[in-house]
Chains A and B, each alone.
Chain A
C-alpha cells in the first residue's frame, strides 16, 4: 500500500473524487448506449444510431427527457421514505469506487505532484466495498415498501432476499483471493497479481462463482427477478417516475460497473496490462493502465449484456435453490482446498499451480454435477374421480379434474352458459 494514501493535499483528493464521479456518470451513459447497441446487434437490429456519432448521444437525450417528465407521488406512498429511497440506493453505489485502483502512481499534468490513481485505500478495502454495497439494498427495500403498492413491495422483498443470499456466495468467493494475496487492500491485491499470475487462473472456481454471484447481486438478467416485467410490472420502481426513477437506474448501472471493476481488480490483474502488451516497455506506467483497466471492466459489462441478450429468466425457487444449495457449498469446499494448498505451499514448496488446477477441475466438475436436476420420486397420484360413480354424472370435488370416460364427453363449463 502506498504511503501517499491519507497524506495527500486536499486539492488532490477533491480532484480525484470529482474525476471518479465524472467517470462513473459518463461510463453509465456509455453503458446504456453500449447495451442497446449490443442487444440490438444480437437481435439483428441496428439500435440507436441517429443522435451523435454512432448514436452515442442517445442516452444523454434520454436522460434529459427522463428528467423533464412529470414527478408523481402516489397517494398511498409514505412521502419521506419514498423520497429518500432512490438517494439511499445511489450514494453507496458511488462510495464503493473510493477504493478501486485505476492505475499506478502518476504525476498530475502541469504539476510535479505524484499521486496514485486511486482515491484512497485501507487495509480492509474489499470489506468496505462489500459493506457499502450492502447498504444499497435499503434503497430498494424501502422504495418498494414506501410506494404503497403490492407489486413494488413484492419486488422489494424479492430483491432483499436475493441480494442477501448472493452476497454470501460473493463474499465466500473473495475469501480465496484474500488467502492467496494475503491482504484485503485492493492495491496490494493488484500488486500480488503482478508477482504471481492473475488470480482468475489458479482460483478458477472462485472466479466462476463470483461471476454468477455478481449477476445475482446486481439484479440483472437472468436473475432480474425483483423487476421481472412479466410478473411484477416493474418491481420496486413501478411507482417511480422522472428523476427519482433516473436515480434508481443510475444506481443499477453503477452497481453493474462496480462489480465488474471489482472482478477486474480481484481476478484479472487490475490495471496491469494483459500478457503480450505488458512485454512492451512502459505499458504499466503513466496513464496507460487506465485504458487496460477500463477495457477489462468493459469486458465484464459486455458479459452482462450478453447474458441479458441470450438467457431466459429463472424461476424464483430455482434461483434461491441455486444460490444456497450450489454456490455456497461449492465455494465453502473450494475455500477448504485453497487453505490446505496454501499451507502446504508455504511449508514445503509444493508445486502450487499443478495441484490447484487439479482441484479447480474437481470443483468445477462438482458445480456441473450440481446442475443435473434432482431426481424426483413421482408423487402418488390420487385416483381419478369417477364421474359416473352413482350411475349418473356428478360434478368433481374441488381440486379434482373432471375426466371424460370414453363415449361420454364432458361438456366444457364455458359451453353451458352459451
Chain B
C-alpha cells in the first residue's frame, strides 16, 4: 500500500474543516471545524511516521493534540466570557474584538 490514499484523505478532511471555519457562524461549531483540520494534519503525520519507519511523526501528532487541548481551553473561556456580555455565541457579533 502506498501513502497516497492516506494523504488524499487527510487533504480532503482538511478542506472540509476549512469550509466549516469559513461558513459557520457559531463560534463553537467553528471550533469543531478547527479540530477537524488539526486531526487531518495528525493523520498525515502518523502516515509519514509509518512510511518512514520511525516514531517522530507520532510524537508530532501528540504535540498537536496538546496544542489542541490548550486551544480548546482558552477558546471556550473566550466564548463563554463573550457570551456573558453579548448573549450570543456568533462570531459575527464579536467582529469588533471588544466587549
Direct touch of chains A and B (CB < 8 A): no
